[in-house]
Amino acid sequence: MAVKLNIAILSLLLLFISIPKAKSTVLDVVANFGAKADGKTDLSTPLLKAWKEACASTTPSKIVIPKGTYLLSRAALEGPCKSSIELQVQGTIMAPANPSAFNVPEWVVFNHVDGLTMSGGGVFDGQGAAAWGKNNCAQNKYCAALPLNLRFNFVNNAMIQDITTKDSKQFHVNVLGCQNITFQRFTVSAPENSLNTDGIHVGRSNGVTILNSNIKTGDDCVSIGDGSKNVVIQGVTCGPGHGISIGSLGKYEGEEPVSGIFVKDCTISNTMNGVRIKTWPASHPGSASDMHFEGITMNNVGNPILVDQEYCPWNQCNLKVPSRVKLSKISFKNIGGTSSTQVAVKIVCSSGLPCEGVELADINLAYNGPEGPAISQCSNVNPKLSGKQNPSACSSKPSA
């Protein structure tokens, strides 16, 4: 036993001895690179200089943006870097308010970075109000040029915590081609009328975790696109917005499968939808499986539980041709609260590829509107039922 204890103590001593070697080099954009927190001087050059130095360092680096208000025209923070980088944002960073200042749909973007930490309690303010009345993507292409607040492209092993994104002109956060990226105590803040401002959109990424975060926006709080795998959304407060969505899927050729989506212990309030899966009719082939929603509280939510394989916004599709996206292994468990629409549970699957392995357990959703109590609608699905079912779940006959 003494030998084992000595070995353990020696291991701890070696660990403590090694800690100073990992001490970060601190790069302050104000003190070291001349940035000005006056809300008028562009932060772009000081930030990019600090990033370039940090990225070239063979030891971990910390970039500090101190408290204050900064104007940032645009920043593309490029990797790969030689060591890990911590970006500590303490201040408020503002985008140009005029949408015409951007000719590409990005404002702050991280490309090909491994070992990124962003923290500090700071705010990225996209000043998007001037754009929201114009970015109806269903009717024009204007929004294609509108910038997102934060893009993470091919970023691996990252932690984003205690950061706020505010009033983006388009999506707040886009996660593409990433592995092992976590958002924790992350805040999205935008009004209900901010069109097309998804909180966090995930696409073609593996191991995305969103924890204990607060998302208020004008579109999906979290949206999951094709190729997303092993996504965990837990302890998220959503609303206003359009809820937490998987899809829409099947619109484009070559979309990659979605699998391993876990939404747990979330609260959704005053949103257009609750938790939903949506695919286009007349779609390209695809699949989504192993999707689980558990421990969700709904407060005055439209369509609290929704699977829609006839998703057809703006009537831009052919409803006569069924979706070719196969949905399977789906569970909704311990979901309760209040619905703002009478149809509290709606599971409309493809007539060409009916849903398989759907489970409903302990559902308790109340509706107090003039039409009567809450109801469910289902088609092309035969779910496994257990526990309380309020409203009475999917009858054996598909409903129209």
Residue 320 has pLDDT above 70, yes or no: yes
Structure tokens at 84: 């890990």
Residue 145's pLDDT band (cuts 50, 70, 90): confident
Residue 214 has pLDDT above 80, yes or no: yes
Write out pLDDT tens, residues 230-240.
999 999 999 99
Top-confidence residue, 46 or 144: 46
Return the pLDDT at 308: 97
Dihedral sign of CA atoms 292, 296, 301, 305 in order = positive
Return the pLDDT at 137: 60
Phi, psi of 15 (to 5 degrees): -65, -45
CB 165 within 8 A of CB 187: yes
Write out pLDDT tens, residues 12-50.
334 333 434 456 699 999 999 999 999 999 999 999 999
Return the pLDDT at 9: 38
Phi, psi of 315 (to 5 degrees): 55, 40
Residue 62 has pLDDT above 70, yes or no: yes
Return the pLDDT at 16: 36
Give the architecture-level CATH label for domain 23-390: 3 Solenoid (2.160)
Average pLDDT of the chain is 91
Return the pLDDT at 265: 98
Dihedral sign of CA atoms 307, 167, 239, 293 in order = positive
Catalytic residues, by residue number, are 242
What share of the chain has pLDDT > 70, as a percent?
90
Closest CA to 250 of 198, 303, 339, 318: 318
Return the pLDDT at 377: 96
Write out pLDDT tens, residues 152-206.
999 999 999 999 999 999 999 999 999 999 999 999 999 999 999 999 999 999 9
What is the radius of gyration, based on Cα positions, of the chain? 23
Q: Where are the domains of the chain?
A: 23-390
Distance, in Å, from the CA atom of 62 to the CA atom of 86, rounded to the nearest integer, reads 5
Its pTM stands at 0.92
Write out pLDDT tens, residues 124-141.
999 999 899 775 665 655
Structure tokens at 156: 């691996």
Residue 93's pLDDT band (cuts 50, 70, 90): very high
